Amino acid sequence: MNLKERFSEICLPLTQDQKLIGKLWSEVERNYSQKGRYYHNLEHLENMFSELDAIKDKISNYSNISFSVFYHDLIYDASSKSNEEKSAEFAKERLQQLNINESDIAEIYQQILATKAHESSDYNDVNYLLDADLSILGKDLETYINYTQKIRKEYSIYPDLLYKPGRKKVLKHFLEMENIFKTEYFREKYDEQAKKNIEFEIGEFL
């Protein structure tokens, strides 16, 4: 199932207005296809869904988590510190057009905000979302290196003098965590390789 079909599938139980669904999808597609999005693009969403589809039975509200995936990086500016807040607000406005009940909107809003700090949550769906978001860290080294190059391109406005210390700080933060991944499923799948990959990248900065 492609992303457009997936988006339509989660909207249809809420509205039969195909024009509205089409308009909302076009907006999602346009934002994730913006120039300068080398990593935070539609491919990132596809990768997240492939991770989450494999554990669909563990997720309590798959529709909500799907909306969170679609909207979590909708607003993305490498020089901004408030992308998640803006994305969450954007999602809230659009989901109200779909007449989703307020408690579901609040849940999606909080899930999107959680992708900012990536801290462990009392809610398993949040943890699965966060782990899927970071799953790239635990892929094979070649895939990981390709990811780091894409991230560097997204931050091309910053010279190495600024980028490298900032990136190193983020990476060391991950290594200081007892576990990078919050859920047992993702820990077993990716934690060990993620630590090796991150250590490799830090080594490249020396």
| Residue 18 confidence (pLDDT) above 90 | yes
pTM to 2 decimals? 0.97
Give the number of other CB atoms < 10 A from CB of residue 194.
24
Q: Which of these ranges, 41-45, 172-176, 180-184, has the smallest mean pLDDT? A: 172-176
How far is Cα of residue 73 from the mean position of the Cα atoms in its chain?
6
Q: How far apart are CA 164 and CA 205, in angstroms?
A: 7
Distance of alpha carbon 31 from alpha carbon 181, whole angstroms: 28
In the CATH scheme, what is the homologous superfamily, with its name and number, of domain 3-205? 3'5'-cyclic nucleotide phosphodiesterase, catalytic domain (1.10.1300.10)
Q: What is the pLDDT of residues 37-78, one digit of tens each?
A: 999 999 999 999 999 999 999 999 999 999 999 999 999 999
pLDDT digits (tens, 9 = 90+) for 103-156: 999 999 999 999 999 999 999 999 999 999 999 999 999 999 999 999 999 999
